[in-house]
Structure 1
Amino acid sequence: MESKRSSSPKTRSTSHGSSGTEYEVFLNFRGPDTRNTFTNCLYHTLLNKGISVFIDNQGIDVGEEISPEIFQAINDSKICIPIFSRDYASSSWCLCELEHMMQHRKTNELEVLPIFYDVKPSDVKLETGVYKDALTLHKKERGAEIVQRWEEALKEVTKIKGWDAKNIGHGELTHLIARKVLVKLKVSCVHISDHLVGMDESVDEVVNLLNVESKDIRLIGIWGMGGIGKTTLAKLVYDKLSTNFDSCSFISDIREASQGSGLLNVQRQLVFNIIGDMGVGFSNIDHGKNMIKNRFCRKKVLIFLDDVDHTRQLMALAAKKEWYGSGSRIVVTTRDRSVFDQFLDQFDRCLIYEVKELNNLVALQLFSKYAFRSNSPPNAFLSLSKKVIEQIGGLPLAIEVIGSFLCGKNKEAVWQDTLEKMKFCQRRDVKEKLMLSYVALDHQQQQIFLDIACFLAGQHKSYPYYMWDDCGLFPNEGIDVLLLMSLVKIGEENKLWMHDQLKDLGRSIVYEEYCKDPKKGYRVWRNQEGPNIVWQKKGTETVAAYHSNFFVHSQDLVLISEDFIKMPNIRFLEMCGLSLSGDFEDLFSELRWLDWEDCPEEMQATNFCPKNLVILDLSWSNIDEHWGGWTQLKQLNLNGCHRLQVLPFELGALEALTEMLIESYYFPTSISQVPSSIGALVNLEHLAICGATHLTILPNSIGMLKCLTELDVSDTGIAELPNTIINLRSLKALNMSHSCMQKLPEAIGMLEKLEEIYGVNCNWLETIPGDIVRLPSLKNLVLTKTRVENVPKLPQSLVCLCLSSRASEKAPDISNLVNLRSLELCFTGSTTIGWKTIRGDFCRTMRGSRHVAKETIDIACCKLELSTISSISSYSGCLRYIKRLEIINCKNLRQIGQLPFSLTGLMVNNCNLLEVVDLSNLSNFKNLEDLEVWDCPRLVEIQGLDKLESLESLIIGRCSSWLCLPDLSNWKELKMWDVDALTTYLARGKRVAQTEDLPLSHRLRLRGSADPEF
């Protein structure tokens, strides 16, 4: 890259930082040929996509040595793009850089993406005199040996598929290149911890086993003990190689996900990840196998199956090589090497990689990251840290747990005591290494840890909180301690998560106690042992029993009251599909949580009423309203109880109930009536009655639920909420989606804490009450696919406005809803209402929407007939925060009127009848930075465009050839122009802009332009 460059690194500058900075893309080009034309366009296009680019803006004088910083920039980059122009080969420094990047490509897998700007690949390959003559001249100055290396680099780069710029517009080409680069740099779908050390060697070894260049089909196993780092290693390899395949999938926790009928869902997830079709369905495992075989057999895929523990899982997901296309790779992580035994001859190659413990040096570094949040221990703790590593060994999970335990403990005496305790853990067994953290917990915290390890991992955290709190285990404080010590985590959807190794630790503690004294088998988590410990009269101190069997009918397994006489301490009981018989009076006095899915329709149990029960889960049971097992509860789950027609009249006995769930979407429940006694549930906070299509009304007593915060009546036959609902002053969320709701209460404004209203597919809803303006806390209002004809005035806090609903000009003023974050109004019917104006009332500031990341108003009017937007202006001064406006698919929109002066970005897309966009009122303001107009074939005028001196980006495409663009030579801030050929001239023959008056770096970029002057 030539031009002028200071030979001193201190005075040399580039577009990004200094030496040592990691770049994503390095541009290699001949300065005089393309610096101010194509290269500049490519540079800014990449920048606008958020890609970090190294570009040398100064160049090198003849005779100067190339700066080491240039070579370092190549080394630090992920992609190098050489731009081969006519005089490229005349620059020895361009060739020197090319040689370096081609050498780096061989050893570090650097991506090189060549562009043949105004030469052919044959020119670069030295088959013509274009480059060959220049190299002949270089031999005299540089010598034959150096030139020979350059020739080899030129020939080698032509083997890489690149772009030919001759037959494509620069704008389109730079967009194609940016898209390709983004694919190469794509964000991985797997999360990788920041605390990683010593993984490079293992990653390289697995990558070598995979050998992605080979056309064979391989099954690779990553095998090792729990907590050794198998999943982390798999994620790193996946992240490194995923761009080399047609499709990729990483499925975590196969063992957990495939329990019961879950393996079918794993198959569905795999198919979706590979072919991206949510509509594909299959009913059984064999159908899923055929789907994978038929749809994957022509694809080169990369599939990672994490934590496989049974051969049947691989049989369902990756049984044979014939299921996959040439070059495919299947990678499996497992603790059980035997799962591969049946597949050794089913693939071209089946290889096993054993994950080993970390060596002491790497282990110390990893320990330091957790204990001191640095790469090495402070000098005062170096010796102690080494002693800790000697004790716990190189197991990453043990290092993380012990390091987290010692984090913040700055007293040497504490460390010495810790080391003394660790001396009792002589075996390098994981349990002994993790036992120290368990011992550090107090009694209550230990009980919570063991509960999670044995049977609560994967549960929503709120459910066991009820039980722990009622048993005096102080769950809030206990969970905080477990989180700080890395013994438990809160995963997606607020579910409790515990590493397999920690679960094994907890279960081993329980099991060893049981082996010493069977009477202390106080937690049972294995399916086969659940009923056994009851029938054999074992475990008198048992506090939890777990049994889940979906394949045994209830009449086959019956537990009688005498079986539980010697189990007075049981507080958690799960018995899916089992039945009870006998007199249970005075039994289960300590039972807090009963999980009884598939409860039988009839049972012989009498006096079954555990007086301290706080959680009752009867999901998918055959019970009806006459079942007598109701008691004092805090959480009641009746999901899927399709035979239940009426909620029991004994609701008055459930005064302590805080949550009641009756949800059934796949098999609608038969509930047709909610008794008035529901008003007695004065502590109820969450009520969900979903899928009750026969339920048409709620009783007036619903208004007595003073603590209710969430009410969900979606997918019901309810047409109208009782007026007493206005008494629910604690209500925060109302969901009436897919219901028969026709109107909302007129006095809904009295619900001063209401934040969310959801009404998706409320096909009978016609009006929004004017009183809605009095909801000061409302944040989300979603009314899609309704019959709403009145579009209210929106508050200044609006984030997302989606209008495809029938609308009238008469609308209540809800501009006082200052906390509203989202409004969606959609209508899919065939009727359209001619609406002459969208007033400025509908455009307000957008902050914190869960629908859009940026501050955006989105007007998507696919069904709404609009003739003008006459004014989107500062209604009552509420528009001062609007940042971005998007107007999309407004098929009948003819004019966009004056816009709010706070606007920084405007996008108009696919408005077929749009003729005028008025930006004139923005001329006195310096905010608008981005303007994009696409697919507006009748657009002939953008008023005030010539005065927008602050504009940085202009994109206009597929608009009218009559579009008048003014002289834009005053646009000093413009960095990106993308205007297609149709808009570069006026029909009157006047030039669009005098581009020669603009800075070279700001020149117009055209797509498909036939104008030789551009």
Structure 2
Amino acid sequence: MGNEDCFGLPLTLWLRHGSQGVLIRSVFHTVLVELKVLYEKVTKDLVGVEDRVEAIIQELDLKSDKVRFLGIHGIGGVGKTTLAKVVFNRLLSSFHGCCFLADVGESSRRNGVVHLQKQLLSKLLGSRSVSQILGENDAINMMERGVLRNKKFLIVLDNVDEKKQLRNLAEKGDWFGSGSRIIITIRDQSLLKIEEEATEFSTYEVREMKFDHALKLFSRHAFRSDFPPSHRVSWSETIVHILGMLPLALEVTGSSLNGKSQKIWGDTLKKLQIAPPKEVQDTLMITYEMLDTEQRHVFLDIACFFVNMDKTYPLYMWDDCEYYPHNAIEVLFLMSFVKVKDDNTFWMHDQVRDLGRGIVRREDTEHPYKRSRVWKHEEAIRILKRKEGSSTMKALSLGHHEDKLTRDEFDNYPDLRFFQGDGVFLVGDFNNLLPSLRWLSWQNCPCKSEEFVANFPWTELLVLDLSCSDITDEWVGWSQIKAASKLKALDLSKCKYLTRMPDLSTLESLERLNLEGCHNLIEIDPSIGKLQCLTALNLNGCQSLQELPEVIGCLKALTEIVMPDTPDKFRLPETFGNLKSLLTLDVSHRQISKLPYSIGGLDELRRLSLYQCTKIKELPESVGKLKSLVELDLSWTSIFHLPDSIGNLKQLKVLRMSHISGMTKLPSVIGKVEKLEELDASNCWNLIGEVPEEIGSLSYLRILNLSDTRISGLPNSIGSLKQLKVLRISHMRGITRLPKAIGLAEKLEELDARGCRNLTGEIPEEIGKLSYLRILDLSDTRISGLPTTVSGLSNLQTLNLELCLELEKLPELPRNLTCLRGATNRHGICAGEYHCSSH
């Protein structure tokens, strides 16, 4: 280390002082001064950050010697920078050097990237090291040569908004020493691409606060206390909900209301219901301005109309408009503006939604008809009734409205592509009107109108939603809809008077047909066989439908079908096996008694669920021909055995067969399902004997659940399951011992043997080899003790020994153990001495 020692103190300092105590105090003071300079200033009014900070530190994995990058992402104002500062302050003393570069994006534009490079290197190496840096390549060359490679650094790059900034400051992990951590706060996840084998990379999303934390933060700024006074509770809670639990918005609004009168509070509340605080808008606008024209159109459409709506229908419209919607949604997701939930619907933070709507309002603050989008019923009906058509209008939505609308109201809307009119009467001749209309949402469409619309632009429609309408088989509109040759999606869900699906043979482009909730539908028209583009058919809730037509097998493009839940028996036709593109077949809870043999022809089927099909007693041998099957759920069926052909399912990863009372044994052929990752045979109460040795061939198996069965033992081949992470054998009354080979299942993290009341003696010593084991549950067993090797389980966190009445002694327990339950014998006293430094 030359003439320097730890903390960078010169050796002369060690020689200058006459006593060790003075020296220690001097070193301690020097370190404190150094750390104080490095600390990032954080507000005192932090609320609800501790769990997030711990989660971020866990993601950083400080035990790893590899260089690790962590991207903290989320919308503007959600608290990314604050969290990064808290983490930085907490960890900086554990690194050889630290640097927090604030607001990298803005600083790069204002001062240039070279300024940031000098700032980074001077903080890590000292100011003299950057004197030769004249251009950005000079700094990159220095880092490429390894000037930072010999020490462990903590670096935060705050608010990065261009790839160039990352390239110039932290492009490669091998620029930094082992154990270094680089934290990046960012809005656009697409910038986070670090591809190196020696580098670890992960992300952490900062989401909105919990409501109680948000109310507390707001109260600290508005009232200088943790809770609002009684006369302001209701208003405070309303404001917090409107602000969407966004920290920046809570702080700004709370501070602005501190000490203000009731009138000011009332005015603020009204204003917030229209638009978010300016400071929040300005922050979010930075992200919006990064979007291109097409991405802005998609964003504004979602903000104004499609939050909590399935994404499928809008995609058709945007694709026709050449907005490149898949790319746009990906960009919006990466910038934390939009998410697609598990149910395929759009989610958007309230503040982001209000930002979008505010942008549209500002297109013309005085005249709504001059805006591109109108979503409020009052404004929309006023525009139509006043005949204020505008060429700028692209989307118009009415609430429920049963008045008549004629061609006069729709004159001069050349670019209107989306119209939502719930319950409206469209009457008159619409010839040469609405040439750009692509999506008509006409829920509660009136059935008995004698003046039905004529010459409507059906031919250009892509999406037609007639859900919840009283239309019947004789509805006058069917003949006109036949002209919709470009139609991609037709929604007839909850049309309760519909008894027969109409002839739709002319809709040659139709991809999605929704008949969900048509309770009185008894027949599917044979014309469905001509819909060669149909990919999705929803028959859920069609309680009167007892069979599908044979022509269903002609739908070569069908990838998704939701079956009717009829109270009586339902039959699948033999032609069902001709659906070569079908990806998912879910007949859960249905009264189906058997699968057709032809099911083996479903070449692309990925998922088959027979969950709670209690009438099914056997699977056809042809099920083994499902070469693409990944998931098979047989739970709660009446199946007695698995066919031998099950071993041919070479792509199967998940097999669920719980709660099958008729199943008596696991077939040895199960060992041939070579890619199986999860096997659940729990609660098969009549499953007896030992698990077949062949199970050891399942080299990919991660989860094995045999709980609540009568299985009497585990095979020695259990040690061959090198990927096994979870083994659940609770309440297996027949098992008397754990095989020694269990110690060879080296990746095991959870072993649940609770309630195995015939499990006696000591656990085998080999259990000490399970270095990944986190949870060990031996409660309600008759074990007498644990082996001494258990002390070597360095990752063990939870040990449950409740109701282990035969327990005689405990060895030294692992240091990382955080939860010990039980550990008492039949007399209720501690079973011997045990030692654990954390207790």
Q: TM-score, normalised by structure 1?
A: 0.52
Alignment correspondent of 1:860: 682
Structure 2 counterpart of 1:159: none
Counterpart check, 1:785 vs 2:636: yes
1:526-675 alignment to 2 at 5 Å? Answer: 526-541=376-391, 543-544=393-394, 546-550=396-400, 554=402, 557-603=403-449, 604-609=451-456, 610-627=458-475, 628=478, 629-630=480-481, 631-632=484-485, 633-649=487-503, 651-664=504-517, 669-675=519-525
Q: Pick from 701, 711, 718: which aligns with 1:882?
A: 701
- SS for the counterpart of 1:823 is strand
Partner letter of residue 221 of structure 1?
A: S
Cα offset, 1:722, TM superposition: 1.9
What does 1:159-238 correspond to in 2, within 5 Å?
191-192=207-208, 204-205=220-221, 208-211=224-227, 218-219=233-234, 221=236, 231-233=246-248
2:753 is aligned with 1:933 = yes
**How far apart, CA to CA, are the structure 1 residues paired with 2:589 and 2:318?**
37
Question: Matched residues in 2 for 1:453 and 1:982: separation?
Answer: 56
Distance change (3 Å), C-alpha of 1:675 and 1:211 = closer
SS in 2 for 1:401: helix
Letter in 2 for 1:1008: T
Q: Tell whether the 8 Å contact from 1:521 to 1:541 is kept in structure 2 after alignment.
A: no
Q: Provide the rounded CA distance (Å) in 1 between the counterparts of 2:601 and 2:719.
A: 35
Query: Which deviations, in whole Å up to 9, do the C-alpha atoms of 1:786-810 show, x marking residues without a partner?
Result: 222333xxxxxxxxxxxxxxxxxxx
Alpha-carbon separation, structure 2, partners of 1:505 and 1:215:
33
Cα distance, 1:673 vs structure 2: 0.6
Does the 8 A contact of 2:443 with 2:468 survive in 1? Answer: yes
Q: Give the C-alpha shift of residue 400 in structure 1.
A: 4.1
Provide the C-alpha distance between the structure 1 equivalents of 2:455 and 2:673, rounded to a whole number of angstroms: 58
The 1:948–1:480 alpha-carbon spacing in structure 2 relative to 1, beyond 3 Å, is closer
Residue in 1 that maps onto 2:130: none
Structure 1 Cα separation of the partners of residues 233 and 803 of structure 2: 52
1:841 maps to which residue?
Answer: 670
SS in 2 for 1:917: coil
Is 1:766 equivalent to 2:588 in the alignment?
Answer: no
TM-score (norm 2): 0.62
Which one-letter code corresponds to 2:266 in the other structure? Answer: S
Q: C-alpha root-mean-square deviation of aligned residues, in Å?
A: 5.2
Aligned match of 1:753: 604
Identity %: 25
> What secondary structure sits across from 1:914 in the alignment?
coil
- Residue 508 of structure 1 corresponds to which residue in structure 2? 361
1:640 positional shift: 1.0
Partners of 1:591 and 1:657 lie apart in 2 by: 17
1:562 offset after TM fit, Å?
4.5
CA distance in 1, matches of 2:230, 2:405: 58
Q: 2:561 aligns to what SS in structure 1?
A: strand
CA distance in 1, matches of 2:749, 2:382: 72
Contact 2:743/2:769 (8 A) holds in 1: no
**2:691–2:711 contact (8 Å) kept in structure 1:** no
Structure 1 residues 1013 and 889 mapped into 2: Cα distance closer, same or farther (>3 Å)? closer
**Which one of the candidate residues 678, 703, 719 is aligned to 1:901?**
719
Does the 8 Å contact 1:882/1:900 carry over to 2? no
Would you say the 8 A contact 2:622–2:645 is kept in 1?
Answer: no
Question: Which residue of 2 is the match for residue 1007 of structure 1?
Answer: 823
Assess, with a 3 A threshold, how the Cα gap between structure 1 residues 781 and 942 changes in structure 2: closer, same or farther: farther
CA–CA distance in structure 2, aligned partners of residues 772 and 873 of structure 1: 24
Letter in 1 for 2:471: I
Amino acid across the alignment from 1:871: V
Residues 1:728 and 1:836: Cα distance change in structure 2 (over 3 Å):
closer
The answer on 1:916 being equivalent to 2:733 is: no
State the partner residue of 2:578: 727
AA paired with 1:710? E
The answer for the alignment partner of 2:317 in structure 1 is: 467
Structure 1 residues 900-939: Cα deviation after superposition (integer angstroms, max 9, x where no partner): 2134556555526324234144467766676442222233
1:704 aligned to 2:536?
no
Mapped contact 1:714–1:738 kept (Cα < 8 A): no
**Residue of 679, 687, 708 corresponding to 2:529:** 679
Structure 1 residues 397 and 582, CA, compared in 2 at 3 Å: closer, same or farther? closer
Cα distance in structure 2, aligned partners of 1:774 and 1:539: 59
SS in 1 for 2:500: coil
Preserved CA contact (<8 Å) 1:577 1:600: yes
Distance 1:228 1:760 in 2: 42
Distance 2:767 2:654 in 1: 30
Q: In structure 1, what residue type is equivalent to 2:648?
A: N
* 8 Å contact kept, 2:652–2:673: no
Q: Secondary structure at the match of 1:679?
A: helix
Q: Secondary structure at the match of 1:814?
A: helix
Give how far 1:827 is off.
4.5
Question: Deviations 1:535-582 (Å, cap 9, x if unpaired)?
Answer: 3332153644634444x5x3xx11234443554543322110111223
Structure 2 letter corresponding to 1:719? F
Question: Does the Cα contact within 8 Å between 2:720 and 2:744 map onto a contact in 1?
Answer: no
Q: CA deviation at 1:679?
A: 1.2
Q: CA 1:783–1:1002 in 2, change beyond 3 Å: closer, same or farther?
A: closer
Superposed displacement of residue 584, structure 1: 3.8
Matches within 5 A, 1:957-996: 957-959=778-780, 961=782, 963=783, 968-969=787-788, 973-975=792-794, 978=799, 980=801, 995=811
> Is 2:300–2:357's contact at 8 Å kept on the other side of the alignment?
no
Residue 670 and residue 678 in structure 1: after superposition, are their counterparts in 2 closer, same or farther (change >3 A)? same
Tell me the secondary structure at the aligned position of residue 885 of structure 1: strand
CA distance in 1, matches of 2:750, 2:431: 74
Deviations 1:191-224 (CA, angstroms, capped at 9, x unpaired): 249xxxxx99978435843349x99994462898
| Counterpart for residue 114 of structure 1 | none
In structure 2, runs of 5+ residues without a counterpart are 1-22, 29-34, 40-53, 63-85, 92-203, 210-214, 255-261, 834-839
Which letter maps to 1:940? T
Cα distance change, pair 983–528 in 1 and its aligned pair in 2 (3 A): closer
- Relative distance call for 1:204 and 1:784 in structure 2 (3 A) is same
Instruction: Name the CA shift for 1:984/1:215 in 2 (closer, same or farther; >3 Å).
Output: farther
C-alpha distance after superposition, 1:276-296 (max 9, x if no partner): xxxxxxxxxxxxxxxxxxxxx
Offset of residue 598 of structure 1? 0.8
Q: Which amino acid is 2:410 matched to?
A: F
Q: Which moved more, 1:563-572 or 1:484-493?
A: 484-493
Hey, what does 1:825 align to over in structure 2? 657
Match of 1:398 in 2: 282
**How many Å apart are 1:758 and its aligned residue?**
2.5
Q: Which amino acid aligns with 1:675?
A: D
Query: What is the CA distance between 1:671 and its match in structure 2?
Result: 0.9
Q: Which amino acid aligns with 1:657?
A: L
Aligned-partner Cα distance in 1 for 2:302–2:803: 66
Say whether the 8 Å CA contact 1:661–1:688 is kept in structure 2: yes
- Structure 1 Cα separation of the partners of residues 60 and 223 of structure 2: 27
Contact in 1 for aligned 2:804/2:822 (Cα 8 Å): no
Aligned-residue offset at 1:623? 0.8
Deviations 1:678-724 (A, max 9, x none): 11111111111111111112122212222111111141467222222
Q: How many pairs were matched up?
A: 616
Residues 733-768 of structure 1, C-alpha deviations (whole Å, 9 max, x = no match): 122223222222213222221111233332322222
